[in-house]
């Protein structure tokens, strides 16, 4: 099985994590929500898979390109 890293596209704070390790997700499902300049930005699953790991916590500051979730496909 392949690991699929899910990076963020903007520097922001992790506002809410919507999934747990081991959860099955479909392409387009919201994995977590970022907050930047009072805007909420969803980070979606790029494809179907299982959450292998979550590499950020609510309240963390993340940088553009940083991997925040790893899916197992």
Q: Which domains does the chain have, with CATH numbers?
A: 3-72 (2.40.50.100)
Q: DSSP assignment of 36-67, as one string?
A: ETTEEEEEE-SSSEEEEEE---TT-EE-TT-E
Cα atoms in the 13 Å half-sphere on the side-chain side of 25: 28
pLDDT over 90 (residue 56): yes
How much is the pTM?
A: 0.93
Burial class (CB in 10 A: 0-12, 13-18, 19+), 71: buried
Segment 10-38, tens digit of pLDDT: 999 999 999 999 999 999 999 999 999 99
- Find all residues with CB under 8 Å of 38, minimum gap 6, and list them: none
């Amino acid at each position: 099985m392949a690991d699929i890293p899910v990076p963020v596209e903007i520097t922001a704070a992790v506002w809410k994590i919507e999934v747990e390790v081991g959860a099955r997700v479909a392409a387009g499902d919201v994995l977590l929500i970022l907050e930047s300049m009072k805007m909420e930005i969803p980070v979606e699953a790029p494809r179907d898979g299982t959450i292998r790991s979550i590499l950020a916590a609510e309240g963390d500051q993340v940088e553009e390109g940083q991997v925040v979730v790893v899916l197992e496909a």
